[in-house]
Amino acid sequence: MNNEFLEKIKELGVHEYGIIPVENVPFEHEVREMCAANRCGSYAKTWCCPPGCGTEEECREKCMKYKNVLVFSTKGDLEDSFDFEGMTEAMVRHKAVSKKVRLLFKETFGDDFFALSSEGCGNCEKCTYPDAPCRFPDDMMPSVESYGIMVYKEAAAAGIHYINGANTVTYFSNIFFK
Ligand code: SF4
């Protein structure tokens, strides 16, 4: 991966990034259990989250076809730790930045990659799940957690911060590539 691309993703709004071999991605069953507890409210609501995104094994296999992972974060500033509006705004921004990074990756390196973002999908007002196929399969990014990845461990493996200080929120995305 060239430096020019990595400089450009910073310009797009990426806070930090790191590249790790796919063998170092911490897939853990516990993460899928946390999804099933539905604390984020996205479980069984979209094709981007369990169970619609596939079984644990299917998700892992899909990732393991690739060689490396670009792990990147965005950081949002909050008024305080109860600033839920700020968290939502930061999530919307993270998804937008992730889409731009994915598009730049595609334009720079081609189609052979797979991207994950944070939380549910958000592309459509109402997801087609489970009644009909996804409307925009090429434009949806399942969540990192939905694929069973323990994000704080992955951030540590990539050498980037999981937490960026008081009154901030940090979200993560992945691009798997060869
Ligand atoms: S793009 Fe639309 S149909 Fe597809 S998973 Fe997202 S919300 Fe659902």
Q: What is the pLDDT of residues 10-25, one digit of tens each?
A: 999 999 999 999 999 9
Cα of 2 vs centre of ligand 1, distance in Å, is 32
Q: What is the mean pLDDT of residues 159-177?
A: 96
Phi, psi of 167 (to 5 degrees): 55, 40
Q: Distance between CA atoms of 165 and 146, rounded to whole angstroms?
A: 26
Residue 1 has pLDDT above 80, yes or no: no
Is the Cβ–Cβ distance between 24 and 155 less than 8 Å?
Answer: no
pTM here is 0.93
Q: Is the CB of 128 under 6 A from ligand 1?
A: yes
Domain extent for 159 = 3-177
Q: Is the CB of 164 under 6 A from ligand 1?
A: no
Q: Is the CB of 134 under 6 A from ligand 1?
A: yes
Q: In the structure encoding, which two tokens stand for residue 59, read together?
A: 């998700």
Q: Domain total for the chain?
A: 1
What's the mean pLDDT when you consider all of the chain? Answer: 94
Q: What is the DSSP letter of 146?
A: G
Q: Report the alpha-carbon angle 82-38-79, nearest 5.
A: 15
- The residue contributing the CA closest to ligand 1 atom 5 is 47
Return the ligand 1 atom nearest residue 121 CA: 6
Q: In the structure encoding, which two tokens stand for residue 45, read together?
A: 């609501």
Cα of 139 vs centre of ligand 1, distance in Å, is 8
Q: What is the pLDDT of residues 117-164, one digit of tens each?
A: 988 888 899 999 999 999 998 888 999 999 999 999 999 999 999 999
Cα of 9 vs centre of ligand 1, distance in Å, is 25
Residue 172 has pLDDT above 90, yes or no: yes
Q: What is the mean pLDDT of residues 74-91?
A: 94
How confident is residue 27, by pLDDT bands cut at 50, 70 and 90? very high
